[in-house]
């Protein structure tokens, strides 16, 4: 159940890329256990806003609060440490590597062997299978190379990784892009399961029909500005579509 | 699992398919000329392969991290020359070797920092490096070779014949292979290398310092190149300014024949060892069967292409069999 305690809030965020004024004072709030749809046309600033929240870029102006404390990220690692995970569009996983090695990429499990700290591949495999089955994805061989998975399964692996590391807020950048209808349904199911476990998520997309059924609220961006914030009960797909195209 | 899937799974392993090609090549040369497997010839092959194979190991590591090194041949030549100059100046030989290896690391780090910070292709950085370091060797020596007399203790450590078919340089080759294998397959740094070479943005988003990973791999490449050059000079007791000419392509060929990807993200050091022996055997076999010597390069070029095609073919065939 969505509660009204804010997990993250971004206030008056501005970002320039050289002469391009990408974000022009955007506010953005996610409450705990909430699924927020972030929609807007290409170039509206959705991904930029989320990259700031993931610690990839610093904002030029504005404040970010995480669980009521003001924070400043100097790298994606800082954001991950607080429990903000991002599944970036098309770049979440390394396709030539195994599932287990992808899940623990950058956060490998180790054990002491003589005087060296080496990978604990056995535990990485076990934990990977567990992480996958936790989100209802049953893959028995964690040594499977990611390239051999379907698009839906890949998103599943990325989501399982985020879940495994006790994420509080999961940012999904176009998670249903390039997926078949069946695979998209699978990803939407994953997102619903996240909410049931009390994890907040932000779902960036330009496909309203995907986000509308799962989102609690929808934020519309256009040309780097807030165009509106809608509670799902109070709006319809047609209304939001008008907002996006009218701008 | 039936026998067919077992064979298919085995053949999908890059090391296994390239071993099949190696065995076939050995049989081919042996069937034409029995002397190919005579003690004397095998001895020569085992003695000279490691010094050229060690740089290929470093190149493989760098290729897995997604970069190239065209300068290994020049560093292979510069390292012993640098040590020889220091020894001429009266510096202790052991200290000279130590300083030389440190200079090699520095050269690799320089290639890495320039590639990463200036964001230019490593092909260009190390092409420059190839010309610069060769140029330094030539300029310092005026194109003349230098004596490279090392103390017997050093010779024993590096080029000593332990017993039949076992040379110290082979032991070094295998020791470095094992260390690199452990780094690559059993250490988190190997995971970082594969992800940096496989998809840099994904690695970076997971907080991996991809620039650092690349710079370390550039360092390994130059370090192994310099060490290979020192082994060769110790064996021959001289440092030649044109030493290691063309080695960069041999090293890349060995890595690719062994199954490493030219595009980064995937590779194996054991495959490179087999690939290295394969190219040395092709070179040596052509001499043994008395192929006309002016055609050597032509043959080797053709054979390298065929070997890579055969390797991929065997692996694809193996995947097909499984389904």
**Residue B182, pLDDT score:** 96
Residue A176, phi then psi, degrees to nearest 5: -105, 10
Band (pLDDT 50/70/90 cuts) for residue A1 is: very low
Q: Does A114 or B135 have the greater pLDDT score?
A: B135
Question: Which stretches of chain B score pLDDT less than 50?
Answer: 321-323
β-strands A200-205, A35-39: how paired? parallel
Residue A175 lies in a domain: yes
Whether A139 and chain B come into contact, CB under 8 Å, resolves to no
Please state which architecture CATH assigns to domain B32-313: Orthogonal Bundle (1.10)
β-bridge partners, A16: A21
Q: Using the predicted structure, report yes or no on whether residue A63 has a pLDDT greater than 70.
A: yes
Token digits of residue B63: 């290729």
Residue A143 lies in a domain: no
Residue A56 and residue B265: Cβ atoms within 8 Å?
Answer: no
Q: Does B124 or A42 have the greater pLDDT score?
A: B124
Question: What is the total count of domains within chain A?
Answer: 1
CA distances from B249 to A28, B70, B254, B276 (A): 54, 7, 8, 12
Per-residue pLDDT, averaged over A134-162, amounts to: 86
Domain positions in chain B: 32-313
Orientation of helix B269-288 relative to helix B39-64, angle to 10° = 140
User: Which residue in A91, A97, A108 is closest to B188 by CB distance?
Assistant: A108
**Residue A13, pLDDT score:** 93
Say how far apart CA B153 and CA B207 lie, in whole Å: 46
**CA-based nearest residue in chain B for residue A85:** B206
**Residue A210, pLDDT score:** 84
Q: Tell me, what's the ipTM?
A: 0.85
**Residue A120, pLDDT score:** 95
Angle made by CA atoms A18, A20, A21, in degrees to the nearest 5: 115
Closest CA to A14 of A64, A55, A56: A64
H-helix or E-strand spanning residue A7: strand A6-17
Per-residue pLDDT, averaged over A58-65, amounts to: 92
β-bridge partners, A221: A226
CA distances from B307 to B89, B258, B302 (A): 47, 9, 9
**Residue A43, pLDDT score:** 80
**Residue B195, pLDDT score:** 95
Per-residue pLDDT, averaged over A54-59, amounts to: 89
Residue B191 and residue A105: Cβ atoms within 8 Å?
Answer: yes
Band (pLDDT 50/70/90 cuts) for residue A178 is: confident
The secondary structure of B151-205 as a DSSP string is -HHHHHHHT-EEETTEEHHHHHHHHHHHHHHHHHHHSHHHHHHHHHHH-HHHHHH
Whether B242 and chain A come into contact, CB under 8 Å, resolves to no
Do B271 and B259 contact (CB within 8 A), yes or no?
yes
User: Which residue in B190, B191, B202 is closest to A92 by CB distance?
Assistant: B202
**Residue B308, pLDDT score:** 77
**Residue B2, pLDDT score:** 67
| Chain A to chain B Cβ contacts (< 8 Å) | 74
CA distance A183 to chain B (A): 22
Residue A65, phi then psi, degrees to nearest 5: -115, 135
**Residue B61, pLDDT score:** 97
**What is the CATH number for A31?**
3.40.50.300
**Residue B94, pLDDT score:** 96
Calculated CA dihedral for residues A188, A193, A199, A200, nearest 10 degrees: 30
CA distance A163 to chain B (A): 14
Which range is most confident: A169-178, A229-238, B226-235, B260-269? B226-235
CA distances from B80 to A9, B86, B127, B151, B154 (A): 61, 10, 20, 15, 14
Q: Is B262 helix (H, G, I), strand (E, B) or coil?
A: coil
Q: How is residue A97 annotated by DSSP?
A: S
Q: Using the predicted structure, report yes or no on whether residue A247 has a pLDDT greater than 70.
A: no
CA distance B202 to chain A (A): 5
Q: Residues of B99-109 as b/e, b for ≥16 C-beta within 10 angstroms?
A: ebbebbbebbb
- Owning domain of residue A30: 6-93+167-246
Per-residue pLDDT, averaged over A193-203, amounts to: 86
Residue A94 and residue B203: Cβ atoms within 8 Å?
Answer: yes
β-strands B166-167, B161-163: how paired? antiparallel
Per-residue pLDDT, averaged over A83-110, amounts to: 90
């Amino acid at each position: 159940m969505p509660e009204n305690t804010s997990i993250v809030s971004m206030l008056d965020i501005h970002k320039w890329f050289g002469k391009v004024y990408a974000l022009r004072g955007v506010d953005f709030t996610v409450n705990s256990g909430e699924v927020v749809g972030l929609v807007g046309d290409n170039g509206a600033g959705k991904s930029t806003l989320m990259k700031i929240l993931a610690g990839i870029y610093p904002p030029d102006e504005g404040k970010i609060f995480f669980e009521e404390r003001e924070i400043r990220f100097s790298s994606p690692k800082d954001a991950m440490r607080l429990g903000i995970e991002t599944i970036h569009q098309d770049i979440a996983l390394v396709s030539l590597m195994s599932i287990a090695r992808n899940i623990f990429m950058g956060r490998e499990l180790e054990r002491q062997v003589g005087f060296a700290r080496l990978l604990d591949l056995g535990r990485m495999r076990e934990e990977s299978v567990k992480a996958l089955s936790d989100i209802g994805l049953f893959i028995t061989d964690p040594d499977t190379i990611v390239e051999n998975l379907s698009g839906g399964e890949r998103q599943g692996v990325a989501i399982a990784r985020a879940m495994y590391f006790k994420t509080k807020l999961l940012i999904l950048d176009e998670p249903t892009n390039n997926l078949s209808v069946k695979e998209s349904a699978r990803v939407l199911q994953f997102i619903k399961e996240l909410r049931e476990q009390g994890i907040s998520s932000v779902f960036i997309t330009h496909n309203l029909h995907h986000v509308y059924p799962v989102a609690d609220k929808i934020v519309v961006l256009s040309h780097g500005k807030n165009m509106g914030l809608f509670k799902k009960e109070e709006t319809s797909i047609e209304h939001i579509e008008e907002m996006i195209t009218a701008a | 699992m039936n026998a067919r899937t077992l064979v298919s799974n085995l053949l999908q392993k890059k090391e296994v398919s390239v071993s099949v090609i190696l065995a076939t090549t050995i049989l081919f040369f042996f069937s034409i000329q029995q002397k190919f497997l005579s003690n004397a010839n095998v001895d020569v092959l085992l003695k000279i392969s490691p010094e050229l194979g060690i740089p290929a190991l470093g190149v493989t590591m760098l290729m897995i991290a997604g970069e190239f090194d065209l300068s290994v041949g020049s560093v292979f030549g510069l390292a012993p020359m640098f040590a020889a100059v220091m020894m001429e100046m009266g510096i202790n030989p052991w200290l000279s070797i130590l300083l030389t290896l440190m200079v090699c690391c520095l050269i690799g780090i320089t290639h890495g920092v320039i590639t990463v910070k200036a964001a230019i292709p490593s092909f260009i950085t190390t092409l420059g490096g190839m010309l610069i370091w060769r140029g330094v060797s030539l300029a310092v020596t005026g194109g003349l070779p230098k004596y490279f007399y090392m103390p017997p203790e050093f010779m024993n450590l590096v080029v000593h014949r332990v017993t039949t078919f076992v040379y110290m340089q082979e032991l070094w080759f295998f020791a470095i292979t094992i260390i690199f294998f452990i780094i690559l397959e059993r250490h988190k740094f190997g995971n970082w290398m594969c992800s940096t070479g496989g998809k840099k943005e994904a690695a970076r988003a997971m907080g991996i310092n991809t620039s650092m990973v690349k710079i370390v791999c550039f360092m390994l490449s130059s370090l192994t190149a310099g060490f290979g050059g020192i082994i060769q000079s110790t064996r021959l007791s001289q440092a030649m300014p044109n030493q290691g000419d063309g080695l960069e392509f041999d090293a890349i060929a060995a890595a690719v024949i062994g199954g490493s990807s030219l595009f980064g993200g995937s590779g194996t050091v054991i495959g490179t060892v087999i690939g290295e022996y394969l190219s040395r055997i092709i070179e040596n076999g052509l001499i043994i069967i008395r192929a006309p010597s002016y055609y050597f390069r032509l043959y080797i070029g053709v054979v390298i292409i065929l070997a890579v095609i055969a390797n991929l073919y065997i692996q694809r065939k193996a995947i097909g069999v499984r389904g």
